[in-house]
Structure 1
Amino acid sequence: MKHKKKFIKIAIDSPAAAGAGTLAKSISKHYNLLYLDTGKIYRMIAFIKINQKKKFNKKFLKKKIENLNLKKLQNTRLLSDDVGTEASLIAKNKYIRKLVHSFQVNCAYRPPKKFKGSCLDGRDITYKIVPDADFKFFVTANLKIRAKRRFAELKRLKKKITYSEVLKNIIKRDKSDYNRRLSPLKRTKDSILINTSNLSKRACFLKIKKIIDKNI
C-alpha cells in the first residue's frame, strides 16, 4: 500500500519588508505548496476601494473575495503607499476580516489537489489562520534594512519616493500592525525566529529548508 504524501502547512508572520514574501515564494516553489501572501488580499481590497468607491459595499466586496484570482495579487500597483495605508485601515474592519479569514483558511486547508500543502505569510497566520501549522516562522529584519529593501523595490517599479518617506511609512505600518486590536502582529512561542538582516535570499531559504527537511 502506498502511503499518502504528507500534507504540509507552513505559517509565516513578519513585519513589512522583512523578506517573508520572497522567502515564502521560494519555499512554496521548492515543496510545491500553494502560496498566499495574505497581506496582498487587504491591499487588493484597498485598491478596489480607492478605485471603485461607488460600487464598494458589503455585497460587492463579498463577491470580489469569493471570486478572487490569486494571480491578481501580483499587480505591482498594490505596492503603492496609498494602497498600503488604506490596507492597514481596512484590516481593522471586523466584517472584512471575517471574509478574508474564510478565504485564507480555505487556501491553507483546501488548496488545489496539484499542491502538496500550503504556505501563507502575513501578520496573524501562526496563531489565527493556521494555528496547527506544521512549521511556524517569524521573519524579521532591522528597521533601516527593511526600509532600504522596500525603497529599492519601489525604485525598480519606477515609483517616485524618497528613502525617508519609505522609512516613515514602515514605522507607521509597524505601529499599526503591532498595536491593532484585531489580530495584531506578534511572535508566538512556537514560531522559529528568522532574522534576515545579514542573510542573502539564498541563505534564508537554505536555513528554513534545513528545518523543514529535518522534520518531514
Structure 2
Amino acid sequence: MKKIIAIDGPAASGKGTLSRNLADALNFAHMDTGALYRAVAYEILQAGGDPTQETDALAGCKALQDKMAHEDVLSNDALRNDVIGDAASKVAVIQSVRDALIALQKSFADAPGEAFSGAILDGRDIGTVICPDAPLKLYVTANVKIRAKRRMKELHSKGLDATYKAVLEDMRARDARDSGRKAAPLRPAEDAIIIDSSDLGEAQMLETALTYAKKAFG
C-alpha cells in the first residue's frame, strides 16, 4: 500500500501548517499544490499577462515547468501575497492548466523519493482528483471569519497593510470561486475525515492527524 495522505481545505484553514508538521513527524515528502498555481500566477503577472486568459496561463505554466528543472521556485516568498493568491484562484479554473499540473502532482505522490516514507499533498482537489485512492484523506476547514483573522495576522506579520473587512470579503469571494468552479470544485472527498480547526492549535491538529495516520498505516 502506498503511503499517501491527501489534505484539502479552503484558504487559511490551517491545512498547510498541518501538512508540513505531519510530514516532519512521519518523514513524508510534502507538496503544497496551491504553490504550483501561485507560481504559475506569478509567472503570468511577471510577464504582464492576464491570469483569466488561457493562452497567458499556459505560457506561465510552461515558464514554471522550465524553471522547476533547476530552481526551488515553490519556496519563493513572493508567492504568498494576496494578489498572487487571487490570481492563482483564477488560473485554477482553467482546465488546460489543471491538466498540465495534475501529471506533476501525481508523479510526486507515486514517487516522493527513497529518503521518504510516503507523500503528503495539500490543496483543493487532492482527495477528489489527484489522489482519490489515498489511504488517508483529511479535509481541514474553519469558520470563514476565523480564517480571515488568521490571514490578516499573517499579512501584518509580513509588514503588509490589510483590513479585516477587505480580507474577509476576498476570502468569501475565493471560497465561492473555488467551490463553484466547474473544474474540480473545492469539496471534501466522500471518505475524507473532516477536521475543524476553528478552535484547535497546531499541536492539537497534529495530534489528531497522527491518530488517523496510525490507524491508516499502522
Q: How far has the Cα of 1:116 moved from its partner?
A: 1.1
Q: Distance in 1 between matches of 2:33 and 2:134?
A: 15
TM-score, with normalisation over the residues of structure 2?
Answer: 0.90
Q: Distance in 2 between matches of 1:206 and 1:71?
A: 30
Q: Distance in 1 between matches of 2:60 and 2:155?
A: 30
**Number of equivalenced pairs:** 211
Q: How far has the Cα of 1:41 moved from its partner?
A: 0.6
Q: How far has the Cα of 1:76 moved from its partner?
A: 2.1
Query: Unpaired runs of 5+ in structure 2?
Result: 50-55
Q: Distance in 2 between matches of 1:176 and 1:66?
A: 29
Q: How far has the Cα of 1:197 moved from its partner?
A: 0.5
Deviations 1:64-100 (A, max 9, x none): 2255268432222212222111111111112211111
- Give yes or no for contact 2:8–2:140 (8 Å, CA) kept in 1: yes
The Cα RMSD (Å) is: 1.9
Name the residue aligned to 1:3. none
Name the residue aligned to 1:78. 79
The AA in structure 1 aligned to 2:28 is: L
Q: Secondary structure at the match of 2:207?
A: helix
Is residue 98 from structure 1 mapped to residue 93 from structure 2 by the alignment? no
Q: Distance in 1 between matches of 2:66 and 2:129?
A: 20
Q: Distance in 2 between matches of 1:61 and 1:42?
A: 9
Name the residue aligned to 1:147. 148
Q: 1:112 to 1:149 in 2, by over 3 A?
A: same
Q: Distance in 2 between matches of 1:148 and 1:59?
A: 35
Query: Unpaired runs of 5+ in structure 1?
Result: 1-5
**Percent of residue pairs bearing the same amino acid type:** 35
Write out aligned runs for 1:159-178 (5 A).
159-178=160-179
Write out aligned runs for 1:1-216 (5 A).
7-53=2-48, 58=58, 61-62=61-62, 64-65=64-65, 67-68=67-68, 71-215=72-216, 216=218
- Give yes or no for contact 2:7–2:137 (8 Å, CA) kept in 1: yes
Q: Secondary structure at the match of 1:158?
A: coil
Q: How far has the Cα of 1:53 moved from its partner?
A: 3.1
Q: Distance in 2 between matches of 1:133 and 1:65?
A: 25
The AA in structure 1 aligned to 2:65 is: I
Q: Distance in 2 between matches of 1:57 and 1:172?
A: 21
- Give yes or no for contact 1:12–1:137 (8 Å, CA) kept in 2: yes
Superposition misfits of 4+ residues, deviation over 6 angstroms = none
TM-score, with normalisation over the residues of structure 1?
Answer: 0.91
The AA in structure 1 aligned to 2:172 is: I
- Give yes or no for contact 1:65–1:100 (8 Å, CA) kept in 2: no
